[in-house]
A = this chain, B = another copy of it.
Amino acid sequence: MNECTLPSSLPEEVEQALLRCGGIEGFLRDLPKDHELLKRSALYRALADPIRLKILAMLRDQPLCVCIMKSILGIADSKLSYHLNVLKKAGLIEGGKRGSWIIYSITEAGREFV
């Protein structure tokens, strides 16, 4: 599955450490699986923007409508919409209609990062 040829010689301490965790096989076995790494990196990517972190912070204590977030952030509608969508896709916030407004709130998952 994960074919890998080791270098012919290694630093002493690294060699030792590898033996201690069951050789290279044991070492590979304990690494997180690729789909897990992809999932986590996608989550971090959603968090990797100051505007989005600020949105999460704003939603910490109460849900808010887009228009308030817009006036506080001072950015264009479409830009805000883009970032809200990134956060929503990542499962960090969720939004629902309320009359002609759309109100976003933070999810459990999102709350871990405020």
Please, which residues of chain B bring their CB within 8 A of the CB of A13?
62-63, 98, 103
Nearest Cβ in chain B — how far from A51, in angstroms? 8
Task: Please state the number of chain copies in the assembly.
Answer: 2
Contact: A64 with B31, CB < 8 Å? no
The secondary-structure label for the interface of chain A is helix
Chain A window 57-77, contacts with chain B (Cβ cutoff 8 Å), 1 for yes, 0 for no: 110011111011001101000
Report the separation of the CA atoms of residues A101 and B11 in the bound assembly, to the nearest whole angstrom. 7
Contact: B65 with A37, CB < 8 Å? no
Contact: B64 with A28, CB < 8 Å? no
Nearest Cβ in chain B — how far from A5, in angstroms? 6
Contact of A44 among B2, B5, B38, B44 (CB under 8 A): B44
Residues in A lying within 8 Å of B, measured CB to CB = 2-7, 10-11, 13-14, 17-18, 20-21, 24, 27-28, 31-32, 34, 37-38, 40-42, 44-45, 47-50, 52-54, 57-58, 61-65, 67-68, 71-72, 74, 98-99, 101, 103
7 contacts between A and B (CB under 8 A): A6-B68, A11-B98, A13-B62, A21-B62, A27-B58, A41-B48, A44-B48
